[in-house]
Structure 1
């Protein structure tokens, strides 16, 4: 599941770190497999954009049709389409204008929650935006746990600077995890629940807009996903004679993760519901956020041709 992404869980501090796998390239050098990673991410677009049930329904007649429809829905999102035009036109202002919003953040967060944490998607926000004119600026991900019946709700940010990404995510915690925002979002989710084909009364009652806010808070895992440039990847190495990351790299990574968590906790210490909400931090260091996202836009445009 998700073979092109390494996953390091730090469960004691509710923090999860990911990076694109390293492997030998055609010249026998160890480097990240970005092309393969992008391919794996894009394979998830039909389910991400359409929802599992709708994607399966369309795929019965034509798997290619499901892929094309998923790509079309993704490309029709205004922010993605405009950012795509900017990247392909080599507009240097596009990074500041679009990338900070993380226009591929929803897709990657979906992939991480589904493939690495085994939390299936409850609702496809892309599909709702297109089909039902839903509010655009809602939660970036709404997933759930089949066993515990808890929600996994995510926000995402892409920045060059990790501290800037954490600062913006901390701001989202205050803006989105409160009574007013919950009423707006869960009204949308609840209204579409019957369309999802999920037979789960506990989840149905939890997402009902008139259920207690406290009941929602204690059953939510809030996931704050930051993708950012990080020099730590330059220190990556394998243990000699194995395909396992070296202990030196793992030690450096752990130190970096713990510092990021402390930073985020400091930024969110004023959040009023901190004792009731399970707050997870998702960290995704990359060599170059701009180059990676540009590569994804090029692939998306190619798929539209």
Structure 2
């Protein structure tokens, strides 16, 4: 059980070495009518907001008297990012948002990174090594290029993750493949490793500092470093399975869902041709939801309310 208890809302339906899939199912209301559990999903995602924004850079615990102020601070730090503020305005002030406009303005965004943070923490037992939001907001330094930089302290692995929020999963997967092509080259990686090594000193997770500083130092072999790295690629997207069915436990839903996941995995395999393919530990993570636009709208609505509490 992870720190945020994501399994209460999110089910890991496919668990394979290079493929994971997640889903949120249905519940019934007081009238016995089935509904998709969008609101519990939104609240579960936002439960990881403060840790996502600040990682372990300010410690691993928050005083009970500071819980609300830290949450408000975290929401404000996210909206200090210009692009993210623009996306919020677009989502909340637009009467109707077309799929084309939505994908144009929110192909990635911090919500994709927040969902990735939650899944890595609760389903893969990682801990955050660095937080991009923390460095954007507090330190003002150039930040690393990955959407997640986590570690598994038990297995001594580094998790460098990428995330996409798309309506069309194939487009999201194509963009994830582009990220791998751009980011997993020796020059780029060595540059990122140096940045990460310097910023590790800003975290209070001191027991891991020296190990990862030494591991990522420029003197080591790239092949040895890649062996210690897992690359989770998360695509959260709209899926029609939640319109066609209203019970995720039914055989019909399960068959339809799995076929969709396997088709997307095939799409990834057919298009993933990185020259270092045999050296990269890729984990494709697929997270279909009922409606990506509605999910993002709800997240912005809740986050805006938190931001406004402090006046």
Which residue, 287, 298, 303 being the options, matches 1:300? 303
The 1:117/1:9 distance shift into structure 2, 3 A limit, reads: farther
1:132-168 Cα deviation digits (max 9, x unpaired): 3344571001111121101111111111111111111
Q: How does 1:251-262 map to 2 (within 5 A)?
A: 251-262=255-266
Q: How does 1:143-154 map to 2 (within 5 A)?
A: 143-154=150-161
Cα separation, 2, equivalents of 1:296 and 1:105: 11
The 1:41/1:232 distance shift into structure 2, 3 A limit, reads: same
The yes-or-no answer on 1:232 pairing with 2:241 is yes
Larger deviation, residues 56-65 vs 184-193: 56-65
The yes-or-no answer on 1:16 pairing with 2:20 is yes
- Conserved 8 A contact 1:149-1:202: no
Larger RCO (alpha carbons 8 Å, 6+ apart): 2
- Conserved 8 A contact 1:134-1:188: no
Cα separation, 2, equivalents of 1:21 and 1:50: 30
After TM superposition, give the deviation of residue 180 of structure 1 in Å. 2.0
Larger deviation, residues 37-46 vs 85-94: 85-94
The 1:103/1:95 distance shift into structure 2, 3 A limit, reads: farther
Q: Which residue of 1 aligns with 2:82?
A: 78
Cα separation, 1, equivalents of 2:246 and 2:39: 20
Larger deviation, residues 203-212 vs 73-82: 203-212
- Conserved 8 A contact 1:58-1:65: no
How high is the TM-score relative to the length of structure 2?
0.88
Larger deviation, residues 114-123 vs 133-142: 133-142
The 1:29/1:208 distance shift into structure 2, 3 A limit, reads: farther
Q: How does 1:30-69 map to 2 (within 5 A)?
A: 30-52=34-56, 54=58, 56=60, 58-59=62-63, 61-69=65-73
Q: Which residue of 2 aligns with 1:281?
A: 284
- Conserved 8 A contact 1:222-1:279: yes
Larger deviation, residues 247-256 vs 169-178: 247-256
Q: Which residue of 2 aligns with 1:117?
A: 124
Q: How does 1:114-263 map to 2 (within 5 A)?
A: 114-135=121-142, 138-198=145-205, 199-200=207-208, 201-238=210-247, 245-263=249-267
SS of residue matched to 1:100: coil
Cα separation, 1, equivalents of 2:139 and 2:217: 18
Q: Which residue of 2 aligns with 1:264?
A: 268
Number of aligned pairs? 298
Q: Which residue of 2 aligns with 1:241?
A: none
- Conserved 8 A contact 1:190-1:209: no
Over the residues paired in the alignment, what is the CA RMSD in angstroms? 2.1
SS of residue matched to 1:272: coil
How high is the TM-score relative to the length of structure 1?
0.90
Larger deviation, residues 22-31 vs 200-209: 200-209
Cα separation, 2, equivalents of 1:175 and 1:60: 43
